[in-house]
Amino acid sequence: MIKVTLLEHTPNPERVVAMAARLCYSPSGAEELKEKMSDEQIEKLVKKLAEMGHASTFEHVSFTFGIEGISRVLTHQLVRHRLASYSQQSQRYVAAHDFEYIVPPSIAEKPEAKAKFEELMKTIREAYDEFTELGVPKEDARYVLANATETKIVVTMNARSLMHFFNLRCCNRAQWEIRALAYKMLAEVKKVAPLLFKNAGASCVQTGACPEGNMTCGKFNEMIRMREE
């Protein structure tokens, strides 16, 4: 079960974004703008920026998440997002004797497959224990651990990088586990910056266009059809 906690974030994120955007076109300085802009002005400006996707000002606010209950299948994909910061639980230093693991739904729903999966995890745990008893260091015993093994990670992304992450990973074509994570992260940031992330989500949701060509899930075409009816 994926657990996502928004540990910290830049305070007043929408005020910061609006102030930075306004500064570019104003003779006034940042501090003055930050104090003087009314809530209405901020709302109007952030909405406009979010709609237009003028994203560079979104970089001024960042969000730090604690994430647990995910597999290393997920984190190997996650850390490919390079405009982000990560601190991950190390299999080199943290013993994995009774590791938890993630069962894919397509396996969990088939009793035969599920039993096989759990038996295999038990076998791996036993092998891991035997290796460490034989004097194999943790950093090498982990070579037998499965992709399914649970891991924990701290992730920091700014709002621009998050928007891009949601574009790719809330998409129906994204792998199911990282998609589930993306939706949980999106729910968290919407609580603290609802205007900023109002249109955030898969590319089709945010930009009105699907970049997946003939591999599209069809959701986009459905959206267009619904709009036209």
CB contact at 8 A, 96 and 152: no
CA distance 186 to 137: 39
Name residues contacting a second copy, limited to 9-28 (CB under 8 A): 9-12, 16, 19-21, 23-27
* Residue 61 burial (CB count, 10 A): 24
Q: How many chain residues are in contact with a second copy, going by CB under 8 A?
A: 98
The answer to whether residue 89 forms part of the interface with a second copy (CB under 8 A) is yes
Least separation, in Å, of the C-beta of 184 and a second copy?
14
Q: Is 81 annotated as a binding residue?
A: yes
Name residues contacting a second copy, limited to 183-222 (CB under 8 A): 207-209, 211-213
The answer to whether residue 110 forms part of the interface with a second copy (CB under 8 A) is yes
Residue from 2, 37, 103, 205 in contact with a second copy (CB under 8 A): 103
Listed residue (4, 1, 38, 2) closest to 22, CA to CA: 38
The answer to whether residue 228 forms part of the interface with a second copy (CB under 8 A) is no
CA distance 18 to 105: 42
Least separation, in Å, of the C-beta of 229 and a second copy?
22
Residue from 137, 187, 224, 225 in contact with a second copy (CB under 8 A): 137
Q: Of 38-46, 132-140, 189-197, 220-228, which part binds a second copy (CB under 8 A)?
A: 132-140
179 φ, ψ (degrees, to nearest 5): -65, -40
Q: Kind of pairing, strands 62-71 and 150-158?
A: antiparallel
Q: Which of 157/186 has CB closer to a second copy?
A: 157
Q: Is 158 annotated as a binding residue?
A: yes
Rg (CA), the chain: 22
The answer to whether residue 41 forms part of the interface with a second copy (CB under 8 A) is no
Known active-site residue 179? no
The answer to whether residue 79 forms part of the interface with a second copy (CB under 8 A) is yes
Strand order through the sheet with 3-9: 3-9, 62-71, 150-158, 85-88
Joined together, the tokens standing for residue 198 give 């109002």
Sign of CA dihedral 134, 137, 140, 97: positive
Residue from 42, 45, 67, 204 in contact with a second copy (CB under 8 A): 67
Q: Which residues fall in the annotated binding site?
A: 56, 77-82, 88-92, 142, 158-160, 164, 169
Catalytic residue IDs: 169
